[in-house]
Structure 1
Amino acid sequence: MAPGGGGFLKEATEFCIASADSDLATSDAELGSSIYRNTAPGLGRNLGRPASNYDVDELLECPVCMNLMHPPIYQCPNGHTLCSNCKGRVHNSCPTCRHELGNIRCLALEKVSESLELPCRYKELGCHDIFPYYSKIKHEKHCKHRPFNCPYSGNYCSVTGDIPLLVGHLKNDHKVDMHDGCSFNHRYVKSSPQEVGDATWMLSVFNCFGRQFCLHFEAFHLEMAPVYMAFLRFMGEEEEAKQFSYSLEVGGNGRKLTWKGIPRSIRDSHKKVRDSQDGLIIHRNLALFFSGGNMKELKLRLSGRIWEVQ
């Protein structure tokens, strides 16, 4: 497992962690099948009746990413088109004829794309709604069927998917511990804690009320002050997360520090939650005091509970 932040730390359960483009060239023979040479005659034959969805989709398909194009749509002087996202990828060279692209807009295709009603890009994941182009873009930013990002915080992970897929991914690929139950006790241990900069303890996942919750614990500097922070994230949407509350507690030497909050959805990255300070924050000196007062070793016990909001 790759480290995140300053390195992997040790938990009392005895495990350790640390916190071409493809070749776009085509032969001369292939130039005859470009969008304008091939589809323009067909459009002419179809005057008087609307083009089929297949015809329109073929007309608007970007030759590089194969997605439907939308404004701005660019074309080379020979009429070959591609989407704005791919324009930078091909280094201003037409993927069909290699002519310099420049900044020529294909206004006709842009008008066509704006008039279409299109399915959500997450159709295969369960969204079957149809939208005008600009409404589609707005919808997709908040579509409840869009995939979630992997919530693992030890290193960057590009895996996305639905919750069952991510639970399996966390268990099998990141070797995250899975716990059943709505109450927990974790003990975080680190020798020479004064040397710890930014670091992350291993993520723990709790199965509770038939849902999954991610417990994060990490060390970082808050305005130059070294702190530890613990917080919970919910594996689901924000509206669902609001149906739950949780508490965290640390203490020692007759003192106790508690936190009560609402778990944040994994739609918010662990960094976003950490930077918002939405969790239990323990300054290093206090954490060491809780650990026994010798200031040489961190032995911090964190207990917590999750419950449904009535």
Structure 2
Amino acid sequence: MAPGGGVCKVVESHPKYANYDITAAKAEKRSTQIKSNSGWGEKHGMPSTNGVHELLECPVCKNLMYPPIHQCPNGHTLCSSCKFRVHNCCPTCHLELGNIRCLALEKVAESLELPCRYQSLGCYDTFPYFSKLKHEQHCRFRPYNCPYAGSECSVMADIPTIVSHLKEDHQVDLHDGCTFNHRYVKSKPHEVENATWMLTVFNCFGRQFCLHFEAFQLGMAPVYMAFLRFMGEDSEAKKFSYTLEVGAYDRKLTWQGVPRSIRYSHRKVRDSQDGLLIPRHLALFFSGGDRQELKLRITGRIWKGQ
């Protein structure tokens, strides 16, 4: 035992703490389910046999360590966030950690350049050690979340894999064409809580678009909403526009806008009201006015800007 070192019991807890780019570190740690033919599986986008990289891997969370890197009197290292998590006790030898910095390892980290973790998905750039995580948070090759809103789905993958997943696992309807005419029916229109209809995917201009339709409470008022999301990056989504229309009895509501990327969550788009918003009294009027059943027909068109 090192002089002055006390043995202490490691206790797992989750306090709040300050650290070098905690948000980025959590992004690297987050567990994801990847369903892709690309074979993306190398840890941190690099071979796990590299000795220097292994030295920089925290023994607790298995993420790359960023300053301050801490060490115990016996030289075992761990990251700043995990130092709090194990209550200042070394997870390897259980000595008290104190406030010893591993300056040599921090200096080694400064000299490294690493490939993006999404290298196997198409990003072939390399980055200085301290720029890698920031890049990966916005890398255009990072996988997409499944856009299905009817359940909590954790699948992440590239667009072709996501499309196959939607068809095979969620049984969504896939249609070819840039115009559509959809009918939405609900037998109890007064029940708006968690009323979400099946997602529809359109193949148009060689790209895919998701049509959402659901009911929710907007303040105290129940409403229905339809909106479109683009399966790709936001910069590409802005190249397209779409219209949605609903009506009956010589009256109609029309929406024209730009589809949002599926990088934005379904809930974020819905809560921003970026789509065709239909108050319930109008929805019931368009359905026939008897208030016994919702019967809405929504038509739409997608086009590409100049």
Common topology (TM > 0.5): yes
Unpaired segments ≥5 residues, structure 1: 1-52
- Residue 214 of structure 2 corresponds to 218
Does the CA contact (< 8 Å) of 1:192 and 1:296 recur in 2? yes
Inter-partner Cα distance in structure 2 for 1:93 and 1:69: 17
Partner of residue 12, structure 1 = none
Work out which of the residue numbers 238, 243, 248 in structure 2 matches 1:247.
Answer: 243
The TM-score normalised by the length of structure 1 is 0.77
For normalisation by structure 2, the TM-score amounts to: 0.78
AA of the residue aligned to 1:304: G
Residues 23-48 of structure 1: CA deviation (Å, up to 9, x unaligned): xxxxxxxxxxxxxxxxxxxxxxxxxx
Distance 1:151 1:103, change over 3 A: farther
Encode CA deviations 1:110-149: one digit per residue, 9 max, x unaligned: 2322332222121222111111233222221211111111
Q: Which residue in 2 is equivalent to 1:178?
A: 174
1:67-113, Cα deviation, whole Å (9 max, x unpaired): 43222333334321223455566676544234455665433322322
Partner Cα separation in structure 1 for residue 81 and residue 178 of structure 2: 45
Q: Which of the residues 70, 73, 78 maps onto 1:82?
A: 78
**Is 1:253–1:292's contact at 8 Å kept on the other side of the alignment?**
no
**Could you say which residue in structure 2 is the equivalent of 1:196?**
192
% of aligned pairs identical? 76
Q: How many pairs does the alignment contain? A: 258
Q: Secondary structure at the match of 1:300?
A: strand
- Structure with the bigger RCO (C-alpha within 8 Å, sep 6+) is 1
RMSD over aligned CA atoms reads: 2.1
C-alpha displacement at 1:62, in angstroms?
2.6
Residues 218 and 141 (structure 1), Cα distance of their counterparts in 2 relative to 1, 3 Å cut: same
Could you tell me how far 1:269 is from its partner in structure 2? 0.4
SS at match of 1:194: coil
Deviation at 1:59, TM superposition (A): 2.1
* Alignment match of 1:282 (pick from 259, 278, 282): 278
1:230 counterpart SS class: strand
Match of residue 128, structure 1, among 106, 124, 130: 124
Distance 1:166 1:66 in 2: 28
Aligned twin of 2:65: 69
2:269 corresponds to which residue? 273
* Aligned match for 1:153, one of 133, 149, 169: 149
Letter in structure 1 aligned against 2:144: F
Instruction: Give the aligned partner of residue 10 of structure 1.
Output: none
How far apart, in 2, do the equivalents of 1:164 and 1:200 lie? 24
The separation in 1 between residues aligned to 2:131 and 2:292, in whole angstroms, is 58
